[in-house]
Each structure stands twice: as structure tokens, then as C-alpha cells.
Structure 1
Amino acid sequence: MKTVGDVVSWWITRIENDGTRSQKYRDSMVCLMRKHVLPRVGKLPLKKVDRVSLDDKLIFPMHQVLAPRSVQKALQGLRQAFGMAEGQGRIQDNPLKGTTFRDFYKGKLRPKPARLSRVDLAGLVRQLVDLFKDDPTKAMLPLMMLAHGTRIAETLKARWSHVSLDERVWVIPEANTKSRREHVLPLTPQVLALLDKYRQALPDPRLKAAWVFSVRGGNCMADTSAHALFREVSGRQWSSHDLRKLMRSSLADIGVDHMVGELLINHTLGVTTETYLTRDMMERRREALERWHARLDELGFAEAHGSKVAVPALLSNDAKPEATGLCA
């Protein structure tokens, strides 16, 4: 390997078939490398790679057209490529060893601001409930994501076999999660009733599909179709990730413990913290979701699922949900 392009092109062939990384990560990283990195520094000889050449030829020009986090991601990919090449003995020296994004950028990397806040919750629930009444197949995906705070890729890969009515849980296999660990979400009476209504609304071909969110022909809904659905439903005002952020921020408002909230949205808490988690964490997750769905019921969610669940928004530790009708 003599040029940066040799290293990057070789690395791309490795990550394109790396099943340990999500498809979304692979697609975005490959696109970033081919569209921005290779055209700018692909022909740069390895012996001329240093902080000055990177800043002049790659980092500074990318800052003119991309957000800082995208530039950071490109540098991370470049560092991974050189690190892997050095580890396998394909290059003798790694010119990027010890290089960080802070060497080139001193500003604050702020998270992307949420486009939905707590004050939008009531109107959002009303909008999604009205849509569910009109077209359950269109409203079910955003409702499930608002109810559980799941990522869009995780939600789309849900199969009916992942839903256990006996155990009242939705299991997301580790292969489908960003954290690469199994994620188990308790199903409340509201969601069980919502799933029942949704199934009744599905046309026969889709009812026989293995996927919860299928399209005509029985295949799983694609990411592009799902994002197009959210653009249509929201009028381009918010995204699927905004639902996840809104759910997480709302949990604190109803008294859900920070650690329980992080577990519900499948954030990694760190090895030390997770080592000392108690065995009753599933019950605490269930109680948190019961609180959250009770809050949604107060805003009209009950009109969508149709079940009668007597659960206050702020449960005491010994309170239990009382379900009546079909969901019981």
C-alpha cells in the first residue's frame, strides 16, 4: 500500500461485509469515504500523511460543506482503516496514530437539536391517534416507536415471532440492535390491544407475513420506505429519531428513574453499572412503560387501542395496572 486510497479502498471491502456493524453504519461510512475522503486524499502518498496535509487537503475542505460531526466521522473511519492496516502488517507505520478530531476542531460538538419537545406531545398523540383511526397500517410504526422509544431499524425488523403474548414481552434479538445485545421490552395492555387492532386492519397477504411491518408481497418494510412514511406523516417537521428523543425526555417528567429510562431505550450504561443491576429490572421497566402509556392515555392514546386500563400516570411502588375487556 502506497497511498491513502490504497488503505481506504482495502478497508471499505472489509466493512462492507462486516456483520458486526449495522447496515446503516456501513452504508453511511462507505458513502462518506467514497464521496469525500477518496477524492480529496486518495492519491496522497502514505509517507506524506501528517496533520498538516490532512488539515489542508481533507479536514478544512470538508468543514466547508459538511457538519462537524460528519467530518469527525470521516476522520474516525480513516483512523480505523489505518489502525487495521497497521495491525495486519499491511503498512509499516501508522501516520494517524494519536491523531484526534480535537487536533483540527476546537468547537463544541453539539447534538442535533430535537424537533419535538414536551409541549408538542399532546398534539402529536392526537395526530397519530387520528391517523390510526383512519389508517392503522400507516400510523402503527410511529405509535410503536413513541410508545417504546425504539430505533427505527430495530422496529422495522420486528417479527410476529418476537412478540410473546404469554410473557407479554417484545424481544429484539441482538443481531437487530445497535448495542449488539438482546433487548426485551414489556408489553402493556394498551400495546397488546393496539397490536390486536393493527392485525385486524392488515390485508390478508400482509397478515400472513412474518414481519410486523411488512409491505405488499410480505417483505419487511425498507428503511427508505419507512423514512418516506415519516416525512409524509410529519410533513417533514420531525423524524423517527425525534420520537425516540421525546419519549426519553418525557420519562423524567413522570418520575422514571434515569437508569431505568436508559435501559428502556437500550443505551449502554457501562460494564461496572450493568454488573450491579438487580434482577427486578424487568419489573421496573414494565412499571415505567405502564406509567408512560398511562400518560399517553391521558392525551388520547386510549382512543387508538380501545382498551380500558386504570393506571395513574404516577404509579406508587405497590400499584398494579387493572385491565378490563379483551386486553385482560
Structure 2
Amino acid sequence: MVSHRRSSQPGLTRSARGTVLSVAAATAAALGAGAAPAGAEPGTGAEATRAEVDRLYEEAERATERFNEAGERVEHLKDRVAHARDRVARSQERINRMREGLGSVAGAQYRSGGMDPALALLLSQDPDGYLEAAAGLDRISELHAAALSDLRREQRHLGQERAEASRDLAELERSRSAVSRHKSTVERKLGEARRLLAALPAEEREGYGRPSRSGRDALPELSGLTAGSPHAAAATTAARSVVGRPYVWGANGPSGFDCSGLVQWSYAQAGVGLPRTSQAQAYAGRRVPLSQARPGDIVTYRSDASHVGMYVGNGQVVHAPYPGAAVRYDPVGMMPVHAVTRV
């Protein structure tokens, strides 16, 4: 044993110094290999590395759900922008037809011996000024006044449609930037976790990724418990059918899944559309106590609902746990439960 007390001798012989250095080198090598020396503080070595990897995976999962949310927002905004552009085009076509109709009236008046001053203003370089003044022109007929009122209203509507389309486009660009930002965060966290795992000895790395570390990939006994509804039963069957497929962040099947992607895909096979993120899935139905959970119920975890699985019975959930681990079964209490939701 190496003593930490100061030696009573004025110095060390060459042999003693060699012995101390050899012990120090051996201790450093053990630490570098992930084995904590006797008397070391708890939470050091390989165990601390695994804890740090767990933390990074948790942060990456939160960033993944933000990535999923931003991606969902992008798709929604793309549809809104497309519809806004269609509305703008239709409004412009109506305005063009109105202008053509009023232009035909002006042409007829010109050919008959003169053009109404009001219609001449309409065809001027400042039609908006004309529209402001048109209501006060006594010479315009009631029919023409109605047509001009319609034109003015349609032009205001077109301006509103264009403004809405511009806002949606700006929001779309912000959402695309958010997708890119969250993607970078996920990739950085996962890269840090991979580097830490690569520094562990081979047996430690294998132990970390082994399904038996906290769960299993065999179907647990379900004790005859029935699902809360036919579509919940179908979703449970779908989720079980993909046990063993890899965790892929940002994926919602069928070849790979992240946690919320698995739940969304499973319910889609049952004909039920669910939101993309675990946070939104927590509000996709009615809440039930954990003690009353039935197969197909959605179980969200952590205070921010950043992880989600599907209850299958007998105290088990099926879920996509983290990168490097396949879809599998784990105890429902594997981490703090946020909510149990029945769809």
C-alpha cells in the first residue's frame, strides 16, 4: 500500500523512487483502463464514464424531440405557404378579370364618343388613388360603383394574403434553422458519447450496450391483461413486431425508430394519427393512473416528457431506449414516470 504521509527520511534512494514510480504508473494505467483503484472515490473510472454517456444520451434525446417538433412545424408551414400562394394567385386572377371587365366598359364608352373620367382614372398609373376617390364621383353609375367596390375589396384581400404568405415564409425559414440547430446538438452529444464509450475496455463497452443491462428483448408474460381499445391492441401488436430494430434518432420506422417515432408508427399501423413528439403524445388522450395501465397506453418519462414507451402489461413497456440499443422491453419504472395516457 502506498502511504500518503510524508517520509521521515530526508530523501528516497534510487530503488525506493523506482518503486514509488512503478506503483504510480500502475495506478494510472488502472484508472486509464476504467478500473478504479482501492480506496478511490465512488463515481470514478468506468462507472463515471457510463454515467456521463447516460447523461449525454438523455440530452441528445431531448434535442431529438426538439428536432422532431421543429421538423413537424416545417412540414405544417410548407403546407400553409403553398395554400397561401394559391390564394394569392386566385385573388390576382379575380382582380385581373375585374380590371378587364372595367376596361371593356371604358373601351365601349370611348368608341361611343368619350370616356368616363372615373374609368379613365381606373386605367391610370395610380389606380389606388382612383379607388379612394371613386366613391365621391357623382358621374359613376351604380353598377360601376358596385364593381369598383368589389375590386377595392379584392385588392385589400390580396394585400392581406400576401402579408400572410410573407409571415409564413419567414416562420418557415426560422423553423428550418431550428431543425439544423437541434440536429447539430444531437450529433454533437452523440459524438461525445461515442468517444467516451470508445475509451472503455471492450468488456465495458459490451456490458453497456447489452439489452440485459436494464431490460430484455424477449416478450414478457402479459398475464391475460387486455388492451384499452381495439386500436390500442393493434398498436401494441405493431410495437412488439419491431422489437430488435435499431434506435435511429429522428426516425419513425419501419427500419429504425427513436422513442416517439416508435409510438407514432405503432399507432399509425392501427389507423390512429399521433403527434410526432413525446411531449405532444403525453396529451394525445386521457390520463390514467399508472396502477390502471393497460396494453397500448402511452407512458412518458422525466419531468419534461422527453422519453416515451408503450405499456404492454406485467409492468413492462416496449420502447426505443437510446442509440446503439435496439427496440426492447424494460420495466415501466425504469425512470421517473411523467404520465400514462390512454388513446
Q: TM-score, normalised by structure 1?
A: 0.27
Bigger CA radius of gyration: 2
**Structure 2 length-normalised TM:** 0.26
